[in-house]
């Protein structure tokens, strides 16, 4: 009897084959498929017992679950082999296949996705409701799966069934565990991601419209990686995985999920980034985390209304489509929203430093003047706007190291641009700054009028901190 009990704690192994499309989502040490996964017979029985729905009686069902081990081949090998006698009824074979397949799926899910065991549970169904079998959490990620076990080859019908089941429960990750139970060789389990896409035409049109909404939103708020990700999500919905940028989409998914600042506001999590908008003021821009995964995006429903969430010194405005804007004066308060990483304040970019030359193209004149003013102040100039000098109004007056410069800013450079500033007085130099490309010949012509031109090429270098206005002004005029 003692030896029988000890046997129950021995290790057994199965062969695990993992769908390549799932490998980037699982714990790194399991990514080199196929692998052999070991566990004790005790764990196997525990998983089988805890995944079953049983009546609330005083009987110890764990002992009954241990009896299930009698179906194992009594051999000295360390492989898990399932013995199913030919004289057992079809119903008995189905029960053995079902519970062995489910028990293995729990062990596999916990290992592959680092799930907290205490969060693993069977998903409740109502009547004939179609849902996957189990769910578990690696906070904040929710994982759901459909578990199958069979003494025969896993057929396409069962894979299709798993596909239909897994999409009916919102989750970050969904997969199917398909166990081929064998008595003459090692038990094998396939961990697959049965395709749920592409969508049917009417549904696809609606979802593509939603995708483009978020592409535009993220372009507007300067989140280029998110905009790119949602552009690739569009292809995912249209073509499933059959498009050349699929791996890029998966890499972006991981980068956005892992690198973003995750905040818990009310009942939802948001992923986003922080930028500086003042000396001690910051802006957080994020989005509902559910929008990142395919199934989360498809199942996402707009909130009933916009809402505002306030901390002592921080205020968050959340829109119905899941976009979160946070106006932050105290970064330490983010700890109360679940963000525990340290933030290097010095590395938080000022929002104007993220603008590109293309952003300047779309600015109105007063916005462009404000941004050019920032370039001067960044280099230590004292700057005044719209100053009246010599009975002329200039966009900027910039002063540094005792020298004074008048600055005129134009998108379109014409002869009148030169005429307006060429006869300046009471200044050391005049600058004409433009988003246009100016020929070298015209730049030399302007120099002859004591006018320094900063055109698109040099302005682009200034934006990228690859050149400075100060260096240009130090060059002789001739």
pLDDT tens digits along 147-172: 988 877 777 777 777 767 776 788 88
Q: Rounded to an integer, what distance in angstroms lies between the CA atom of residue 232 and that of residue 241?
A: 10
- Comparing 392 with 98, the larger pLDDT belongs to 98
Specify whether 344 is located in the same domain as 360: no
Query: Residues 170-188: what's their mean pLDDT?
Result: 86
Span 398-411, pLDDT tens digits: 999 999 998 989 88
Q: Rounded to an integer, what distance in angstroms lies between the CA atom of residue 409 and that of residue 394?
A: 9
Cβ(47)–Cβ(107) below 8 Å: yes
Q: Lowest mean pLDDT: which of 60-64, 90-94, 198-202? A: 60-64
Query: Residues 79-89: what's their mean pLDDT?
Result: 72
Query: Residues 435-461: what's their mean pLDDT?
Result: 87
pLDDT score recorded for residue 375: 92
- Comparing 117 with 165, the larger pLDDT belongs to 117
Query: Residues 195-199: what's their mean pLDDT?
Result: 73
Strand-pair category, 382-389 with 392-400: antiparallel
Specify whether 399 is located in the same domain as 445: yes
pLDDT score recorded for residue 338: 92
Nearest residue to 217 (alpha-carbon basis) of 349, 350, 359, 324: 324
pLDDT score recorded for residue 282: 94
Span 267-299, pLDDT tens digits: 899 999 999 988 889 999 999 999 998 878 988
Specify whether 438 is located in the same domain as 390: yes
Within 10 Å of residue 139's Cβ, how many Cβ atoms?
11
Give this prediction's pTM.
Answer: 0.59
pLDDT score recorded for residue 420: 66
Specify whether 335 is located in the same domain as 364: no
Query: Residues 174-188: what's their mean pLDDT?
Result: 87
Q: Which of 173, 192, 211 is the last residue of a domain?
A: 192
Identify the residue whose tokens are 């507007």: 220
Q: Rounded to an integer, what distance in angstroms lies between the CA atom of residue 136 and that of residue 191?
A: 16
Q: Rounded to an integer, what distance in angstroms lies between the CA atom of residue 319 and that of residue 300?
A: 14
Q: Rounded to an integer, what distance in angstroms lies between the CA atom of residue 293 and that of residue 269?
A: 13
Identify the CATH number of the domain in which residue 425 sits. 3.40.1350.10
Question: Where in the sequence is the domain holding 360, given as residue range(s)?
Answer: 355-474
What percent of the chain is predicted at pLDDT more than 70?
86
Specify whether 343 is located in the same domain as 210: yes
Specify whether 60 is located in the same domain as 137: yes
Specify whether 81 is located in the same domain as 154: yes
Choose from 10-24, 175-189, 190-204, 250-264 the range with maximum mean pLDDT. 250-264
Specify whether 154 is located in the same domain as 224: no
Domain count, the chain: 3
Identify the residue whose tokens are 């062990």: 107
pLDDT score recorded for residue 456: 92
Nearest residue to 121 (alpha-carbon basis) of 98, 102, 149: 102
Span 362-382, pLDDT tens digits: 888 888 999 899 999 999 999
Query: Residues 340-344: what's their mean pLDDT?
Result: 86
pLDDT score recorded for residue 381: 93
Mean pLDDT score of the chain: 84
pLDDT score recorded for residue 234: 94
Specify whether 208 is located in the same domain as 171: no
Specify whether 393 is located in the same domain as 436: yes
| Residue 1 pLDDT greater than 50, yes or no | no
Query: Residues 323-329: what's their mean pLDDT?
Result: 95
CA distances from 168 to 109, 134, 291 (A): 19, 12, 16
pLDDT confidence band for 192 (50 / 70 / 90): confident
Cβ(62)–Cβ(48) below 8 Å: no
Choose from 221-230, 319-328, 342-351, 432-441 the range with maximum mean pLDDT. 319-328
Q: How many residues does the chain have?
A: 478
Specify whether 289 is located in the same domain as 155: no
Q: Rounded to an integer, what distance in angstroms lies between the CA atom of residue 459 and that of residue 388?
A: 25
């Amino acid at each position: 009897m003692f030896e029988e009990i000890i046997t129950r704690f021995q290790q057994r192994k199965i062969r695990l084959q993992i769908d390549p499309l799932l490998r980037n989502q699982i714990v790194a040490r399991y990514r080199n498929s196929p692998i052999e996964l070991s566990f004790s017979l005790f764990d196997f029985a525990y998983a089988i017992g805890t995944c079953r729905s049983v009546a609330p009686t005083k009987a110890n069902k764990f002992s009954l679950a241990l009896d299930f081990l009698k179906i194992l081949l009594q051999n000295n090998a360390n492989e898990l082999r399932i013995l199913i006698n030919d004289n057992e009824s079809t119903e008995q074979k189905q029960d053995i296949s079902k519970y062995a397949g489910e028990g293995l799926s729990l062990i596999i899910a916990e290992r592959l996705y680092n799930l907290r065991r205490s969060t693993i549970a069977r998903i409740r169904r109502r009547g004939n409701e179609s849902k996957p079998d189990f769910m578990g959490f690696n906070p904040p990620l929710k994982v759901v799966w459909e578990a199958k076990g069979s003494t025969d080859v896993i057929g396409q019908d069962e894979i299709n069934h798993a596909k239909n089941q897994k999409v009916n429960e919102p989750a970050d990750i969904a997969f199917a565990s398909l166990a081929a139970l064998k008595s003459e060789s090692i038990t094998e389990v396939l961990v697959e991601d049965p395709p749920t896409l592409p969508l049917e035409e009417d549904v696809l049109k609606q979802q593509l419209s939603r995708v483009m909404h978020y592409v535009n939103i993220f372009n507007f708020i300067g989140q280029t990686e998110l905009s790119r990700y949602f552009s690739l999500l569009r292809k995912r919905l249209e073509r499933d995985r059959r498009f050349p940028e699929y791996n890029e989409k998966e890499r972006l998914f991981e980068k956005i999920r892992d690198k973003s600042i995750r905040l818990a506001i009310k009942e939802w999590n948001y992923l986003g980034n922080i930028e500086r908008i003042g000396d001690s003021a910051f802006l957080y821009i994020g989005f509902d985390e559910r929008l990142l995964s395919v199934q989360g995006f498809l199942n996402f429903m707009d909130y009933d209304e916009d809402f505002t969430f306030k901390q002592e010194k921080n205020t968050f405005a959340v829109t119905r489509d899941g976009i979160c804007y946070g106006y932050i004066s105290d970064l330490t308060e983010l700890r109360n929203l679940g963000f525990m990483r340290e933030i290097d304040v010095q590395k938080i970019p000022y929002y104007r430093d993220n603008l590109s030359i293309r952003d300047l193209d779309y600015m109105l004149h007063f916005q462009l003047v404000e941004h050019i003013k920032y370039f001067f102040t960044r280099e230590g100039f004292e700057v005044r706007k719209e100053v009246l000098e010599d009975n002329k109004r200039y966009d900027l007056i910039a002063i540094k190291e005792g020298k004074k410069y008048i600055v005129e800013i134009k998108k379109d450079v014409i002869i009148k641009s030169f005429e307006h500033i060429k006869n300046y007085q009471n200044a050391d130099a005049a600058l004409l700054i433009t988003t246009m490309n100016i020929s070298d010949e015209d730049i030399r012509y302007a120099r002859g009028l004591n006018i320094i031109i900063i055109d698109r090429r040099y302005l682009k270098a200034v934006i990228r901190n690859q050149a400075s206005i100060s260096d240009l002004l130090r060059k002789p005029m001739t």
